Amino acid sequence: MAKAKTSDRTDAEKGMLVPTEFDDSIMWAAWLYYADQMTQSEIAKRLNVSRATIVNYLQEARERGIVSVHINPKAGNRTRVARALMDTFGLAGAFVIPDGDEQALVQRLGDAGARVLADQMEDGDTIGVAWGRTVLAVADQISLTRPVRNLTVVQVSGSSTGEADFSPELCTSILSNRIHARCVNLLAPAVLSTKALKALLLAEPVLLKQMDLVHSANRILFGVGDIGPKSTVRQAGIGEPEEIDDYVARGATAVIIGRFIDAHGGAVGGAHDERIVGITLDELKNIPSRICVAGGPSKIKAIIATLEADYVTHFITDMATAEALIAAAGTA
Amino acid sequence: MAKAKTSDRTDAEKGMLVPTEFDDSIMWAAWLYYADQMTQSEIAKRLNVSRATIVNYLQEARERGIVSVHINPKAGNRTRVARALMDTFGLAGAFVIPDGDEQALVQRLGDAGARVLADQMEDGDTIGVAWGRTVLAVADQISLTRPVRNLTVVQVSGSSTGEADFSPELCTSILSNRIHARCVNLLAPAVLSTKALKALLLAEPVLLKQMDLVHSANRILFGVGDIGPKSTVRQAGIGEPEEIDDYVARGATAVIIGRFIDAHGGAVGGAHDERIVGITLDELKNIPSRICVAGGPSKIKAIIATLEADYVTHFITDMATAEALIAAAGTA
DNA sequence: AGCAGAAGTTGACAAATGACAATATCGGCG
DNA sequence: CGCCGATATTGTCATTTGTCAACTTCTGCT
């Protein structure tokens, strides 16, 4: 354990009083390789180590973010499918990843979403974060490759009670941590038992302040949930099964930012909805940059509902989903 | 063949109305390779082309800036020598490239400078640009890997008459062009024949406006010139040989932004200096981010003069020069 | 001091990559 | 219609790179 600690310290950028020479070698190897285009053997010779060591250095340089590969999202917007999506749904940006490993779809979408978000971030941004498997995947994989100062990450809906491994708090915490942002968690349950209690709670100074931050976010990251039997909403403990069935009976087709919408994106309100703590659909539309990451055959309808109602400015999905969306929108 | 058809349809389905169809394959190859870490052979199979084609796609993706490798300048600041430089000369940032091909030193420094500058740029920046071989090398190699809007590039000293291939106009034009910035060239000669004429010219509305821009720059990029017999100043036609000799006689050790400074960075003024059109040394110090790129054995003294007088906030050099600087500063 | 375990390094081999000449495809144009 | 030149693609081979088990060095602990 003690040893592991030691190595951690070496890896962690801060906390080191004296920068070891070790960092230098890694930096140099990285520069000689990626900037000067020398081969690993040449670098090995110059640094007087074996080539295998250079391989390790370069690996570490990538892991530590000393070097990183940037894929231009602007170029992503120029692909045919991305354009079609943008035209069909009036999006400001779309990024479509090629089909690949089915199993890893969420991971891969997360990677793409992370790149798009990271690319957009600017000094002083306040970034709202919803929750879900996909949002977590984004949070898990985002990383800053350039200095962006003064970021705030704010959880936009109350914390869920379910023991899901993609809770709002978790998504927010991880994301903020990875980009060195101030982290603001909403200190309230996602759903309260009465409308009155919700009003009381929201009147608390702490909550007022936090909700102010939510409303001042200039970007937001969210996914799309469907309503199927195995869907996330049903697992996340947002409401009793009957309550969700009730939503469905009244036309609910998708869930975004913890709110239910019908096939055309209209809010499906009701008593339960009024007990939810979090950003509302109307408030969502006031945020300038609304980044949505979603994909998968089971979500097509839900995504169409979301996109049609203009809840999204920047959409990230996979090829198969994109084509299904375009086809479906065409026939509609 | 039938298989190939399928992929062809994806690539060039409808009429070639848009030249971007082609981008799709390149974009996909780039994504699958750099984001999904697939091997070129796997990608080739999926895209139904030969692996060699994938190699080409990836090459083009890099050339077109669809993918780019970023080397974190912050990490560069952590190397031992960079730290030593920062401590010794009170710099905000230093980037030291490892020794390499002697001949290509200017190119390699240009690459490093370009990365540092590109990394710093923010929306709305106004970037002052001096001139010289090194500055040109930066301009030649800079490229935007993320969207930065509303940039202005402004030439900070008058245009030289010499036919040098690194004139102020050229440096400014190339740099602005490569980063899609507004380009403002100073429409005046570097040196006028009388102080009075200079005053007259600078009173012109056009020039007034341009000089205002110069003074409002929030970043500046410049190199360091030495005074040796083969030095740039003597070739650039900034003044008659006698005039330059006169500067030297009065202690001139280096030239930055077209102005002469002594061994401790003090301005070496005089009649000639008063006829120069361009930013002054005092004005230089008012610019928040002052990026200086310089290296090479012949420039050690000149660089020390520059660094000691706090003209620089961010300094880019090579290992050999850095070590010489630190050694020299230690003995002084 | 001596030992245990982890981190760092190495050599050797298999796999992946880059280079390039040869070949195929496409869009005019006589 | 067929030929031309330009552009895109491919097969092949030498080089470069990643992997992995063995080895060395270092560190903390008894």
User: pLDDT band for position B7 (50/70/90)?
Assistant: very low
- Determine the Cα–Cα distance for residues A154 and A152; give it in Å rounded to an integer: 6
What does the DSSP 8-state code read for residue B191? Answer: B
H-state helical runs in B125-186: 133-141, 168-178
The whole-angstrom separation of Cα B71 and Cα B88 is 24
Could you tell me if A85 and A94 are in contact, meaning their C-beta atoms sit under 8 angstroms apart? yes
Q: Which of A81, A40, A82 is nearest to A57 (CA)?
A: A40
Give the pLDDT score at B269: 86
Q: Among A14, A18, A24, which would you mutate to test the B interface (most chain B Cβ atoms within 10 Å of its Cβ)?
A: A24
Please compute the mean of the pLDDT values over residues B232-261 and round it to a whole number: 89
pLDDT of residue A8: 34
**What is the model's pLDDT at position A102?**
87
Cβ of A3 near strand D (distance < 7 A): yes
Query: Is residue B20 over pLDDT 50?
Result: no
A35-49, A153-167, B62-76, B269-283 — which is least confidently predicted? A153-167
Which pLDDT score is estimated for A2? 32
**CA distance between the termini of chain A:** 60
What is the predicted pLDDT for the residue at A14? 34
CB proximity A6–strand D (7 Å threshold) = yes
Place of tokens 């809010």: A267
Q: How far is CA A142 from the centre of its chain?
A: 8
For residue A182, pLDDT over 90 is answered with: yes
Phi, psi of B154, rounded to the nearest 5 degrees: -130, 135
3-state secondary structure string, B91-133?
A: CCEEEEECCCCCCCHHHHHHHHHHHHHHHHCCCCCEEEECCCH
User: Given A38, A65, A100, which is nearest B32 (Cβ)?
Assistant: A100
Euclidean distance between CA atoms B79 and A29, whole angstroms: 12
Q: Which nucleotides of D are covered by protein (CB under 7 A)?
A: 8-12, 15-21, 27-29
CA A295/CA A297 separation, integer angstroms: 7
User: CB of residue B51 closer than 7 A to nucleic acid strand C?
Assistant: yes
Tokens of A20: 């070891």
Average pLDDT, whole number, for chain A?
89
Tell me the per-residue pLDDT of B43-69, one tens digit each, with 9 for 90 and over: 999 999 999 999 999 999 999 899 999
Q: ∠ CA A276-A278-A279 to the nearest 5 degrees?
A: 125
Between the alpha carbon of residue B53 and those of residues A118, A245, B25, B48, B144, the distances in Å are 30, 52, 10, 10, 26
d(CA A293, CA A113): 6
pLDDT at residue B276 above 80? yes
Q: Is the CB of B50 under 7 A from strand C?
A: no
Strand partners, B68: A70
Q: Is the pLDDT of residue A219 over 70?
A: yes
C-alpha–C-alpha distance, residues B96 and A28, integer Å: 9
pLDDT more than 70, % of chain B:
92
Question: Does residue B33 have a pLDDT over 70?
Answer: yes
Confidence tier at A92 by pLDDT (50, 70, 90) = very high
Tokens of A264: 């055309």
| pLDDT for the residue A16 | 35
Q: Residue A28: what pLDDT? A: 94
Reduced to 3 states (helix: H, G, I; strand: E, B; else coil), residue A129 is: strand
CA distance A127 to A117: 10
Asked whether the beta carbons of A168 and A155 are under 8 A apart, the reply is: yes
Query: DSSP class of residue A160?
Result: P
Contact A98 B38 (CB under 8 A): no
| pLDDT over 80 at B294, yes or no | yes
pLDDT tens column, A29-86? 999 999 999 999 999 999 999 999 999 999 999 999 999 999 999 999 999 999 999 9
Q: Which of B184-193, B255-264, B290-299, B301-310 has the lowest mean pLDDT?
A: B184-193
d(CA B303, CA B225): 8
- Residue range A143-172: average pLDDT? 88
**Alpha-carbon dihedral of residues B57, B60, B65, B66, nearest 10 degrees?**
-20
Over 50: is that where the pLDDT of A12 sits? no
Find the range with the poorest average confidence among A291-295, A321-325, B174-178, B241-245. B241-245
| Contact with chain B for residue A67, Cβ under 8 A | yes
pLDDT at A23: 78
Confidence class for position B270, pLDDT limits 50, 70, 90: confident
Centre a 10 Å sphere on the Cβ of residue A69 and count the other Cβ atoms it contains: 17
Q: Which residue of A has its CA nearest to B22?
A: A79
Q: Give the pTM.
A: 0.88
Contact A71 B75 (CB under 8 A): no
* pLDDT averaged over every residue in chain B: 89
Does the structure show a pLDDT above 60 at A154?
A: yes
pLDDT of A120 higher than 60: yes
For the stretch A314-326, pLDDT in tens is 999 999 999 999 9
